[in-house]
Structure 1
């Protein structure tokens, strides 16, 4: 497979084996064979974009029953509300502004925009969450964003001052059509703002569960700069974000339209100094991940053998990579608690672990809990203080396997 940004040659550096669709939770008793694919990662020798080597058809991941809700975390709700406030005070402060969000999910960010009376549109292919957005007063179209979609939106609504995407752009392999669509829809002096998991943070923390079917690209400032250049855009802004285990918010504008922030050059220099896209760094990451796998399995096996009670917390999409790569099933983690109704009563994809509602966590508390939703650790640990008070211990595996 060649690079999906520049058609360059890809060099593989990590292989996580056969994996299921991460959000395809299974109904008990369903005997149909689960779809699987090889989850391997490589780097482009030309543009340095890190990406998956095998693409999962988008309809298998984003559909009517897609279960993830961006409003499910208070931290993320506050994050998106703060962003909306910032956009309203800056890019959307002119006469009759218009903002388009790609992958708006349940409308958490756009709800604040709508309440301010600003023209907006969410583009969301997953019908269930799109309906939730609409129920909050958000204007939304059920579709995948690509060049043809962008042209239809422009014909109907005119150009956008801002096109925004959160944890969406990295999901989309057909980048050329996306950026052509942004070019067709964006006002000449407008901005394309997107935030996604940051490659440097993934490497530093060995957070290998950020690698799963929905995350096709793993962005760094250097690769985003090259991607933008090839489509007539320029990387003019970057901002490090603490959410989801470490992200960067990138701002693109048409070449020459905006002054470049000094933060861009600072981040590019930091990446070069750390060797973020050096093959030796990437292979070192893969070796750390193998050690994490072995240590996590050893810990869980030891707890099982001594009769300790163990549960999982958070049936996240990320957990699919951990469970299937490590070979962890119900014999090591008998169940996982999750607040998402669509996942409850089902089995985790590939690994077949039952998912139960949050009430199961305290009935009674297990002795140990694997925190698969580690990126929300502070929020969850504060919420589940009684678990610790009852003598419970959290099992974390990012950046290393440890008990908390």
Structure 2
């Protein structure tokens, strides 16, 4: 089953971006898809749409799971469609984190906090309100402008060693550096990690939230594989990456966000000491699942094929019975699923999203129209396919009105489930 990558025409092999190992092993090949946040306007529907291979591989040496860097972060993040503030649960999650970190680390008027990939300021504005000096580093021009308008100081930049050194020389070292949902999004993992070390004080803390590869593999979350996510971490591979910049993981929290994430607490080695029992426990879980060698990745591709077969069978049967199916949400992950399954408007009439930026646009590749959420109550479809399945609890409540006409919700992952 394990086949190493073949190389044709003497092209250089795809080397591991962490350790430089020349040969990577295949985990799952999802074909070629367009970038998942490149929603199309009506006048783009007749233009050429670029697609890029989506082939996940693992390094046999350092066990970093990775995609080749087909698109640059500059392509993705100069103008970005994702504004964190549109998810209520995500805003609450950030508020709770800030409250706990402020109390736990004793942050106050004398402290300094930096958030990398601070998006629209949804997290840092809690610190601004509490009078804690802070700075956001956000590459997307349009999103950073929203943050500044809200009173959150924001630097428009990508983090690397030089950016980190510049911020430190201007503002001093940070007591806390927050990097939520960004450690997977940087192809230059070594430069980014060096930037974190530049930012943080020798006795400071770095908090990183990133999707946990253990839940991705265990719960078949293959739709979270997309071009913006260059790496997929276990605690073990994150430990190895952070060590390249003299940062040591001292604690880990398991979070329900994004279908299962880890919050890593790291410190410069000089201040780190021994790691907690929680770190030992999660490392043991990963090892037991076979993720500290190659064995845990066998069989994943086959399970992915099963998810596609089940969803297509359901949609084809619904169409044959004359039932209407529409989508809820237009998240990036939905576009991996829709493209891999080859779902078009004949099987999914449209989807809806709370983000007005997406209204009147079309999903990349599959060209499914996106409307405002109110459309569902007007059309009363038989089924609503929920694409952001990770917000299940939030959305089951929000969409309870679908029951009024006997409509049912459908969740595609971790396995197909129709909920009445």
2:15 is aligned with 1:2: yes
Offset from partner CA, 1:179-237 (integer Å, 9 cap, x none): 11122221111111110111000111101111011111111111111112232221111
Pairs within 5 Å for 1:70-89: 70-89=84-103
Q: Which moved more, 1:326-335 or 1:50-59?
A: 50-59
Counterpart selection for 2:135 from 121, 139, 148? 121
Shift of 1:92: 4.7
Residue equivalent to 1:348: 363
Contact 1:237 1:261 in 2 (8 A): yes
Structure 1 segment 188-337 matched on structure 2, within 5 A: 188-259=202-273, 260-337=275-352
Residues 152 and 313 (structure 1), Cα distance of their counterparts in 2 relative to 1, 3 Å cut? same
- Taking the TM superposition and a 5 Å limit, the aligned residue runs for 1:377-388 are 377-388=392-403
Match status 1:183 vs 2:197: yes
Partner of 1:140: 154
d(CA) in 2 for partners of 1:388 and 1:401? 19
Aligned counterpart for 1:69 among listed residues 55, 59, 83: 83
- CA-CA distance at 1:95 after TM superposition: 6.5
Once the two structures are TM-superposed, the CA of residue 284 in structure 1 deviates from its matched residue by 1.2
Per-residue deviation, 1:297: 0.8
Moved more, 190-199 or 257-266: 257-266
Residue in 2 that maps onto 1:403: 418
Equivalent pair of 1:38/1:54 in contact (CA under 8 Å): no
Instruction: Name the stretch that deviates more: 286-295 or 226-235.
Output: 226-235
3-state DSSP of counterpart to 2:317: helix
Give per-residue Cα distances to partners, 1:230-257, cap 9 Å, x unaligned: 3222111100001111100011111241
Q: TM-score, normalised by structure 2?
A: 0.93
The equivalent residue for 1:97 is 111
Structure 1 distance, partners of 2:59, 2:359, is: 39
Does the 8 Å CA contact 1:297/1:326 hold for their aligned counterparts? yes
Q: CA deviation at 1:322?
A: 0.4
Superposed structure 1 runs of 4+ greater than 6 Å apart: none
Partners of 2:108 and 2:132 within 8 A in 1: no
Q: State how far apart, in whole Å, the 2-side matches of 1:95 and 1:76 are.
A: 26
Shift of 1:47: 1.1
Structure 2 contact 107–132 (Cα < 8 Å) conserved: no
Aligned equivalent of 1:166, options 175, 180, 195: 180
Distance 1:92 1:63, change over 3 A: farther
Aligned: 1:16 with 2:30: yes
What is the Cα deviation at residue 155 of structure 1?
A: 1.5
Gaps of 5+ in 2: 1-13
- Structure 2 Cα separation of the partners of residues 102 and 93 of structure 1: 18
Partner residue in 2 for 1:394: 409
Provide the C-alpha distance between the structure 2 equivalents of 1:320 and 1:44, rounded to a whole number of angstroms.
26
**2:64 aligned with 1:49, yes or no?**
yes
Match of 2:387 among 351, 358, 372: 372
- Which of 245-254 and 223-232 deviates more? 223-232
